[in-house]
Amino acid sequence: MSFSVSFPDWSVFSEREVPYEVELLSPASETAAALQQCVSDVRTAREETEDVRSSGLSKLASQAVLVVQFEKALAFYEPDFQKAALIKVYRHLRVLKDQMLDALKAAELEIIVPVGSPFDEVADLVHVHGWRYDERYQAEIVAEVLEPLVRHRGRIVHLGRVIMGAPIQSIDQPIQTQSE
């Protein structure tokens, strides 16, 4: 090995300008920047996950509405199945409908068909698509459900669509204002 006993002559070196400004960061600021990036990435991933979850719940709610409509159609056409000697087909379709409802319940969906519920109980949970006035209604109640309302873990994921029933005398009653 060879060692140099003399130090280099610094006068032979010339100073050059740096082409860009170099910013030296402390390890603490480097760590803080990395943590901020991680927090941002986690927030983005959480938002994307919530979007996927909401989309999936919306699609499941649509399936729940279709299953309830299928159930109504089966009940409506049951006499026709019997007349046509297709009772086995009817039973098979009913079993499939029950299995679909069980799968939706396993996904923690609650399907609510509010027929007969008072207007005050369902006003915020449904879209009212019309009114039926008849003597058989004693108060404003849900007369027909076009689409059920669907909840997931207590949170509404699909508002119901209903037709309300009301007594005829409510048509004749004048609208009262607060000043009266």
What does the DSSP assignment read for 141-175?
A: EEEEEEE-EEEETTEEEE-EEEEEEE-THHHHSPP
What was the pLDDT predicted at 37? 92
Contact yes or no for 24/118 (Cβ under 8 A): no
In a domain, 2, yes or no: no
| Residue 136, in any domain of the structure | yes
Return the CATH number at 158: 2.30.22.10
| Cα 140 from Cα 116, distance rounded (Å) | 9
Whether residue 109 lies inside any domain: the answer is yes
Look up residue 140 and give its DSSP letter.
Answer: S
CA separation (Å) from 23 to 15, 68, 121, 136? 19, 65, 65, 82
- The count of structural domains within the chain is 1
Taking phi first (over 0 means left), then psi (-120 to 50 degrees means alpha), and beta for anything else, what does residue 116 get? left
- 18 part of a folded domain: no
Give the type of residue at 47: E
The string of pLDDT tens digits covering residues 59-98 is 999 999 999 999 999 999 999 988 988 989 999 999 999 9
Output the pLDDT for position 74. 93
% residues pLDDT > 70 (the chain): 91
Could you tell me if 151 and 157 are in contact, meaning their C-beta atoms sit under 8 angstroms apart? yes
Length of the chain: 180
Contacts of residue 99, defined as CB under 8 A and 6 or more positions apart, other chains included, come to none
Question: Does residue 102 lie within any of the structural domains?
Answer: yes
Output the average pLDDT for the chain: 86
Q: Is 132 inside a domain boundary?
A: yes
